């Protein structure tokens, strides 16, 4: 959960540390790259690439720059396609692209801006002007990123909210269709939370929600997994490339971990509060199905776990479900 706390700390800053910005310079001209790099490296962290393949490689490593400087008419591949590719990917859509060209052509400029570029600079250029433009675009990106992140985080628990979960699920579902892989969801409900709130007060209830959120987040082991607050006392976990058996094992770890939290509080433990029921579902993504169907299945299994006595995991598989029964 540390990365989500960082967002809140960033929101309290009054200035922008633009010197830490990562700039990616793409140009297949061996003379231009050293010049641009020499001009900008003292003010920013720069990375140079000479081809579109270099860019794709960096993105495959999840190394996303804060700003891209690109000569759209000198790259071996069409630089405008690079710009469009960045804009079509949710992970890179907000990265500003500044295009630099050695000739002024209104048609080229229109194409560049239409493809998603934020600026079009003609050579020769003034160093102070290009730095001012870069700073302006970086500041705008910083603000947009901050607002985007804050809108995707639950203010109480500081983990992803339902909006972030829904967007990520759609993205992962499309990816699973392309790869022909499974995707799993865990619907988690805190047993007796309303009674807990009535008994101990909303302030203590809020603290308990934060403790559970921190616990669940800490149990995630893969970068692509995500736990989010779904609403009230409900949490949801997204597990890409995960079948039912593995999802069930993860759900059991979650159930046991939450149960341990309640046992640390003698009053809560004695009243059988602080446990959790979990619905587990997994599907192989296809174009004939939707991510919504997966959510419905997980919700149905959660209802089953509640009806069978709570504090258990249900997935619809008799052998697996019997393991979780008390």
pLDDT at res. 290: 93
d(CA 278, CA 283): 17
Please give the angle made by the CA atoms of 204, 209 and 213, to the nearest 5 degrees.
150
d(CA 94, CA 60): 17
Q: What kind of fold does domain 2-151 have according to CATH?
A: Rossmann fold (3.40.50)
Where does the chain hold its CATH 3.30.70.270 domain(s)? 162-324
pLDDT at res. 46: 86
Q: Please, are residues 251 and 280 in contact by the beta-carbon 8 Å criterion?
A: yes
pLDDT at res. 8: 44
Q: Please, are residues 216 and 227 in contact by the beta-carbon 8 Å criterion?
A: yes
pLDDT at res. 126: 81
CB neighbourhood size of 219 (10 A): 15
Within 13 A of 52's CA, how many CA atoms are on the CB side?
A: 16
β-pair partners for 276: 190
Residues that are catalytic: 233
β-pair partners for 23: 46, 67
C-alpha pair distances (Å), 222 with each of 30, 53, 227, 247, 264: 40, 27, 11, 13, 28
- What's the token pair of residue 134? 């870069």
CB-based contacts of 76: which residues, under 8 Å, 6+ apart?
Answer: 28, 51, 52
pLDDT at res. 278: 96
Q: Please, are residues 261 and 211 in contact by the beta-carbon 8 Å criterion?
A: yes
Where does the chain hold its CATH 3.40.50.2300 domain(s)? 2-151
pLDDT at res. 283: 94
Q: Please, are residues 314 and 308 in contact by the beta-carbon 8 Å criterion?
A: yes
Class of 162-324 in CATH: alpha beta
**pLDDT in tens for each of the 326 residues of the chain?**
544 444 444 444 434 567 778 888 887 666 667 777 888 888 888 888 877 777 778 777 777 889 988 876 555 345 677 777 777 776 788 889 888 877 777 887 787 788 778 888 887 778 888 888 999 999 888 888 888 888 899 999 999 999 999 999 998 998 899 889 999 999 999 998 988 888 889 999 999 999 999 999 999 988 889 999 999 999 999 999 999 999 999 999 999 999 888 777 666 555 556 899 999 999 999 999 999 999 999 999 999 999 998 999 998 876 666 666 55
* Stated pTM of the model: 0.68
């Amino acid at each position: 959960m540390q990365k989500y706390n960082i967002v809140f700390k960033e929101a309290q800053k009054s200035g922008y540390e633009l010197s830490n910005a990562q700039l990616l310079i793409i140009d297949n001209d061996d003379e231009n790259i050293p010049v641009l790099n020499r001009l900008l490296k003292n003010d920013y962290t720069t990375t140079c690439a000479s081809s579109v393949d270099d860019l794709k490689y960096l993105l495959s490593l999840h190394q996303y720059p804060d700003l891209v400087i690109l000569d759209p008419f000198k790259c071996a591949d069409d630089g405008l396609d690079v710009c469009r590719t960045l804009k079509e990917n949710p992970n890179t859509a907000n990265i500003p692209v500044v295009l630099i060209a050695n000739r002024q052509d209104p048609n080229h400029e229109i194409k560049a801006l239409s493809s998603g570029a934020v600026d079009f600079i003609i050579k020769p250029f003034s160093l102070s002007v290009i730095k001012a433009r870069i700073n302006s675009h970086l500041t705008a990106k910083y603000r947009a990123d901050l607002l985007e992140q804050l809108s995707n985080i639950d203010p109480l628990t500081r983990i992803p909210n339902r909006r972030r979960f829904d967007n990520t699920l759609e993205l992962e579902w499309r990816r699973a269709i392309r790869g022909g892989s499974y995707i799993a969801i865990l619907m988690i409900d805190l047993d007796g939370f309303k009674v807990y709130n009535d008994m101990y007060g909303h302030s203590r209830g809020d603290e308990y929600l934060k403790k559970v959120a921190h616990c669940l987040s800490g149990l995630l082991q893969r970068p692509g997994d995500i736990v989010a607050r779904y609403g009230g006392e409900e949490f949801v976990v997204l597990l890409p490339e995960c079948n039912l058996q593995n999802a069930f094992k993860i759900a059991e770890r979650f159930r046991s971990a939450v149960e341990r939290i309640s046992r640390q509080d003698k009053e809560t433990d004695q009243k059988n509060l602080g446990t959790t029921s979990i619905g587990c579902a997994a599907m192989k993504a296809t174009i004939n199905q939707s991510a919504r169907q997966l959510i419905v299945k997980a919700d149905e299994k959660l209802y089953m776990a509640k009806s069978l006595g709570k504090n258990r995991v249900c997935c619809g598989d008799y052998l697996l479900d019997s393991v979780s029964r008390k």
